[in-house]
Amino acid sequence: MAWAVTAGTSLTFPLVVASVQYAPRTLPNALIRSLHLSSSSSASPMSTTTPQQPHSSFEILGGARDKFLPALSHVLSRPYHPFPFLGWNRHIETISASFYRSIPDIRLRRQCLRTQDGGAVALDWVSGDDRRLPPDAPLLILLPGLTGGSGDSYVRHMLNKARSKGWRVVVFNSRGCGDSPVTTPQFYSASFLGDIREVVAHVTGRYPNANVYAVGWSLGANILVRYLGQEGYNCPLSGAVSLCNPFNLVVADEDFHKGFNNVYDKALAKSLRTIFNKHVLLFEDIGGEYNIPMAANAKSVREFDDGLTRVSFGFKSVDEYYSSSSSSDSVKHVQTPLLCIQAANDPIAPARGIPREDIEENPNCLLIVTPKGGHLGWIAGDEAPFGAPWTDPVVMDFIQYLETEEVKYPKTSANPDGKVALHHLEV
């Protein structure tokens, strides 16, 4: 269960409560408008006659650059402007997004899915969508970060954005996260793909006529990319987006214990202890290499992983667990359209861990690196500072473009995955 800070409940400072509907009033509306104007004053005017080139503030690369970039040009042609003050420092941005980003009020309906090993995960669907949407409406699976769930602000905003475009959305709450039940002495981890396989199979089986996509954040992004790589050409997803992915867990673990990052480490360790101690009786007399006292009292994520996670999933050491669970090794095998968005100043998912060469060589992948953003912050764009992160419109433009192409090239007996035509499509 590797480290990865998420917003909302995942960064468990005492004042953050996922079920609360925040209505921040710390900045007057007139001041917010003036700050937006000042931060965007240098943006170049949009041309309506020629394709826009991406602005130099972004790092953009990938084998699918020519394929997918035109669909995102109207956003990427403008410079990335972090919101004044809040977006200038990576730690201020990460913590501000966790504390003060609004949480859209959306009524959800929970479905508990029993897994083959006797465990359980919770799928949260938008209440009423079965009546409101046709059975072939495009479907989006959301994978939150470590200890995150459907109550987190960044998850709710993405859910809200997709829902407003006519998408069916479901949040995949991993074992113990988002109050998902824990029924066996096993949580989830960066290495374990069994649950995501079962969730995708369940969702595609329930809506066989819908194209299914997925968006993952932080640890959820790492799990998603590993799943895409392992499934290869057999992946049933029509597209995916990875946000704030740590990619190389060994590199990220090195940075996680430096300077101010210790604050995140302690906060996440507290979240893990809270989840674990709710279910500690499941681990009574478990024996083996488990160190239950270490996990129950872990002061760092590494201690928790050493006492519990790496043992649960058969690793001899924490370092072996992190090395074997890194999604950086999976990118070369991805055969599904994949957009990766990272922040250059992310304190938890270091930019030096991004597998740039493999992304560049994979014709299905596109990478966008913003100059600022922190970890799950991205306090920029029209809805800053308290609304949706800058990434949400980019994600929607990408998956809606893919959905349009999927409609053009539907699944047929000659093209059962509906993907080959898309992968070789020239835009």
Residues noted as catalytic = 218, 346, 375
Question: What is the C-alpha to C-alpha distance for residues 276 and 261, in angstroms, rounded to an integer?
Answer: 23
- Containing 400, the helix (H) or strand (E) segment is helix 391-408
Contact 50, 309 (CB under 8 A): no
Alpha-carbon span 183 to 118, nearest angstrom: 7
User: b/e map of 338-347 (b: 16 or more CB within 10 Å)?
Assistant: bbbbbbbbbb
User: How far is it, in rounded angstroms, from Cα 100 to Cα 16?
Assistant: 9
The token pair that represents 419 in the structure block = 């993907």
Question: Nearest 5 degrees, angle CA 135-CA 138-CA 140?
Answer: 115
DSSP 88: T
Residue 232 · residue 338 · CB < 8 Å: no
Q: Does residue 54 contact residue 76 with C-beta atoms inside 8 Å?
A: yes
Separation between Cα atoms, residue 105 and residue 225, nearest integer Å: 29
Alpha helices in 305-372 (DSSP H): 310-312, 318-324, 356-361
Sheet hosting strand 108-114, strand order edge to edge: 59-61, 365-370, 338-343, 239-243, 212-217, 139-143, 168-173, 120-126, 108-114
